[in-house]
Homo-oligomer: A and B are copies of this chain.
Amino acid sequence: MSYGKPCSRACRSTHLEKLRARNNFHRGFHVALENPTVKEAAEFVRNALSERKALIIVGNCWVEYQGRASSKLESGERIIIIKDDGSVLVHRPAGYEPVNWQPPGCLFQTRSADNVLEVKAVRRKPSESVRMFFDRIYLLSSLSLVDRGKFSLYASEEDMQRAILFEPEILEHGFKPITYEKKVEPGFVDIYGIDKDGKFVVVEIKRKTAGRQAALQLAKYVDAIKAMVNREVRGILVAPRLAKGTQRLLATLKLDFKALDPRRCSEVLSMPETKKLEEFFG
Contacts and interface: CB of A to CB of B under 8 A. Distances in A.
Interface of A: 1-2, 23-26, 28, 30, 32, 34-35, 54, 56, 58, 62, 68-79, 81, 83-85, 87, 89, 91-96, 99, 101-104, 136, 138-139, 141, 143, 145-156, 207-208, 262-263, 266
B87 A147 contact: no
Nearest to A69: B155
A85 B95 contact: yes
Contacts of A91: 81, 83, 89
A71 B24 contact: no
A52 B65 CA distance: 30
A210 to B, nearest CB: 14
Contacts of A101: 96
13 contacts: A23-B34, A25-B35, A62-B149, A69-B156, A71-B152, A71-B154, A72-B152, A83-B91, A85-B95, A93-B146, A93-B147, A95-B104, A96-B102
